[in-house]
Amino acid sequence: MRIRAQVAMVMNLDKCIGCHTCSVTCKQTWTNREGTEYVWFNNVETKPGIGYPKHYEDQERWKGGWKLDGKGRLVLRSGGRAKRLSRIFANPDLPSIDDYYEPATFDKDILVSAPGGLTDTPVKRPYSALTGEPMAVTWGANWEDSLGGAHERADGDPNLARMSGEAAAKVQFEFEKTFMFHLPRICEHCLNSACVAACPSGAMYKREEDGIVLVDQDRCRGWRMCVSACPYKKVYVNHATGKAEKCTLCFPRIEAGQPTICSETCVGRLRYLGIVLYDEDAVLAAASIEDERDLLDAQRAVFLDPDDPGVERAAREAGMPDEWIDAAKLSPIRKLITEYRIALPLHPEYRTLPMVWYVPPLSPVLDAVCAAGRDDTDADDVFHTIRELRIPVEYLAELFTAGDAEAAGGVLMKLAAMRSYMRARTLDGTVAQDLLDSIGMTGDQVEAMYRLLAIAKYDERYIIPAAHAKDAAAIEAQAAAHGDCPVGGADEQFHPAVGSGLFRRTDGRRGLTLNPLRSRS
């Protein structure tokens, strides 16, 4: 057994209102630079929908993630090592910038510099950030927001294509007949990362201490194999530097014991951050389970229980600091995944063992309950809908349980039962023992789960141990060496792209710049 700690995240999708605050604060922090205009380390997409980049979940096309070969061995879907190296001159699976979207900027200058006496109002026009030419904006990272255009496009959602024909045909995109929810996505910081496995130069790595997956900017040689290998399409090419970049899980903040910027600024308070312990030696076997529907349980089994004295001893022997073991015991992630078993991984069938899990949304089911003329506050009606009216459940199953509607439905029933139990408890003061029995949980557990999900106190959502005290001196020394960089390794620093702004005014001064860090003249 090789015990390791991982900083993992859970998002409670019922609480996501699709405000994109996480995306915006992330972009302002990490990708507001030349070359990363199209890059969203955090994006929020509406489901059903084709996503960002377009159809990224269609692995027949993009060959992301892992698969089992004829002999049951785990191989990257894009092929073995030699085959992948033979394609290094032109990667056939690489998305083009148009699969993301062509980034635009606007000549806002015109609004203040237009000559007086015009009969028309000056209008700022979009310009391509790639060519500098005027362009029409026809796509973006959240173009399908709240099912916009879904009646034309959303049936291209790869998850619908995988559902049974009968069920998929019933998913409708007419107003008042459909369902939707928002899906915020960051890098999954997988235990079995396909991007790391695909990097020819070994520049991508998983940190031993906290499992954060990073690109060493000095060792990346721009082979761009990581971009296509990631099934979630969360590694990007910076087209100004020619290097790969990705979500860093805000490691400078994590090292200081703070939540990531997307979590910190989430207005819905739906994100949870904490430590999980896992056995590195068990990862390969778990990812190699034959039946896709057994992958969820296999992934749960990789986690170790920090309350087990044997595990605790092993962790100490491996040199894990006490704060980390304590944090693992208190971890909200462990509660949601292992104890309440209501958090599910996104697309476990990619076999990467993702470390950002989701509490699936009950709201599509409640919508269906109402549409069927039932009472969405009555647990029996909700249970009945989950069992009988399988449309949203089957869709959620494609996302979170490799199509296993039983497993997805079980989680939704727990959420529905918690809702009804707490309603009875609060309004009537009664304890609905039958509900507890139906989901196999105790009253205390349900109330604790309710507190974690609904009250969601800051201190309970984020249990992040600061980098160990003995490391603090090293961080200090680093900060002293760099001056301008208070925390974090020099290896992972992003070097700002050098160059001028997009538009040069005729007087030679720079007009618009996409990068606020550049000097403004």
Partner 1 sequence: MNTLLWVALPYACLAVFTAGHIWRWRHDQFGWTTHTSQLLESRLLRLGSPLFHLGAFGVIGGHALGLLVPATLTERIGVSEHVYHLVSVSAGTVTGVVMIAGLVLLIARRFVNGRVRRVTTTMDKVLYAFLAAMVVLGMTATVGRNMLGGGYDYRETIAVWFRGIFWFRPHTELMAGAPLVYQLHAIGGFLFLALWPFTRLVHVWSAPLAYLWRPYVVYRARRSPAPAPRPAPAVVRDAGRQKVSSDR
* C-beta closer to partner 1: residue 88 or 267: 88
Give the one residue of 94, 318, 330, 456 binding partner 1; rule: CB under 8 A. 94
At 100 the three-state DSSP class reads helix
**Does residue 132 touch partner 1 according to CB under 8 A?**
yes
**Does residue 222 touch partner 1 according to CB under 8 A?**
yes
CB neighbour class for 68 (10 Å; exposed up to 12, middle 13-18, buried from 19): middle
Least Cβ distance, residue 95 to partner 1 (angstroms): 8
Euclidean distance between CA atoms 503 and 157, whole angstroms: 38
* C-beta closer to partner 1: residue 208 or 388: 208
Residue list 13-72, contact with partner 1 (CB under 8 A): none
Count CB neighbours of 433 within 10 A: 10
* C-beta closer to partner 1: residue 141 or 220: 220
**Does residue 138 touch partner 1 according to CB under 8 A?**
no
The DSSP letter of residue 40 is -
At 507 the three-state DSSP class reads coil
Applying CB under 8 A, the span of 91-99, 307-315, 336-344, 385-393 interacting with partner 1 comes to 91-99
Contact 64, 229 (CB under 8 A): yes
**Does residue 310 touch partner 1 according to CB under 8 A?**
no
- C-alpha to C-alpha distances, 407 to 188, 366, 413, 414, nearest whole angstrom: 21, 18, 10, 11
Give the one residue of 28, 61, 83, 85 binding partner 1; rule: CB under 8 A. 85
**Does residue 240 touch partner 1 according to CB under 8 A?**
yes
Residue list 469-508, contact with partner 1 (CB under 8 A): 471, 474, 477-478, 481-482, 489-491, 493, 495, 497-500, 504
Give the one residue of 19, 97, 161, 371 binding partner 1; rule: CB under 8 A. 97
Residue list 355-414, contact with partner 1 (CB under 8 A): none
At 326 the three-state DSSP class reads helix
The single-letter code of the amino acid at 158 is P
Least Cβ distance, residue 423 to partner 1 (angstroms): 46
Chain mean position to CA 175: 28
* C-beta closer to partner 1: residue 446 or 467: 467
**Does residue 237 touch partner 1 according to CB under 8 A?**
yes
Residue list 175-194, contact with partner 1 (CB under 8 A): 192-193
Give the one residue of 15, 206, 253, 334 binding partner 1; rule: CB under 8 A. 206
Euclidean distance between CA atoms 466 and 471, whole angstroms: 10
Least Cβ distance, residue 477 to partner 1 (angstroms): 8
Q: What is the pairing mode between strands 3-12 and 356-359?
A: parallel
Applying CB under 8 A, the span of 166-174, 218-226, 381-389, 439-447 interacting with partner 1 comes to 218-226
* C-beta closer to partner 1: residue 283 or 393: 283
* C-beta closer to partner 1: residue 192 or 265: 192
Phi/psi of residue 215, nearest 5 degrees: -105, 120
* C-beta closer to partner 1: residue 19 or 94: 94
Give the one residue of 60, 120, 133, 176 binding partner 1; rule: CB under 8 A. 133
Phi/psi of residue 247, nearest 5 degrees: -55, 135
Least Cβ distance, residue 106 to partner 1 (angstroms): 18
Compute the C-alpha angle 475/481/485, nearest 5°. Answer: 65
Phi/psi of residue 235, nearest 5 degrees: -115, 135
Least Cβ distance, residue 436 to partner 1 (angstroms): 41
* C-beta closer to partner 1: residue 133 or 444: 133
Least Cβ distance, residue 470 to partner 1 (angstroms): 11
Size of the residue set binding partner 1 (CB under 8 A): 66
Euclidean distance between CA atoms 356 and 350, whole angstroms: 14
Euclidean distance between CA atoms 105 and 128, whole angstroms: 6
Give the one residue of 61, 73, 81, 451 binding partner 1; rule: CB under 8 A. 81
Largest separation between any pair of C-alpha atoms in the chain: 81
Euclidean distance between CA atoms 118 and 121, whole angstroms: 7
Q: In which residue are the tokens 């969203």 written?
A: 40
Least Cβ distance, residue 2 to partner 1 (angstroms): 10
Give the one residue of 196, 226, 277, 346 binding partner 1; rule: CB under 8 A. 196
Q: Which residues of 97-119 are buried (b: 16+ CB within 10 A; e: fewer)?
A: eebbbbbbbebeeeeeeeeeeee
* C-beta closer to partner 1: residue 19 or 497: 497
Nearest Cα to Cα of residue 8 among 181, 263, 205: 263
Phi/psi of residue 273, nearest 5 degrees: -130, 140
At 11 the three-state DSSP class reads strand
Euclidean distance between CA atoms 68 and 290, whole angstroms: 8
Interface mask (CB under 8 A) for partner 1, residues 428-467, using x and -?
---------------------------------------x
CB neighbour class for 347 (10 Å; exposed up to 12, middle 13-18, buried from 19): buried
- C-alpha to C-alpha distances, 210 to 6, 8, 314, 329, 475, nearest whole angstrom: 5, 9, 17, 15, 16
* C-beta closer to partner 1: residue 130 or 256: 130
Compute the C-alpha angle 467/469/472, nearest 5°. Answer: 75
* C-beta closer to partner 1: residue 67 or 219: 219
* C-beta closer to partner 1: residue 500 or 521: 500
Interacting residue ranges for partner 1, rule: CB under 8 A: 81-82, 84-85, 88-92, 94-97, 130-133, 192-193, 196-197, 199-202, 204-210, 217-224, 227, 237, 239-243, 280, 283, 467, 471, 474, 477-478, 481-482, 489-491, 493, 495, 497-500, 504
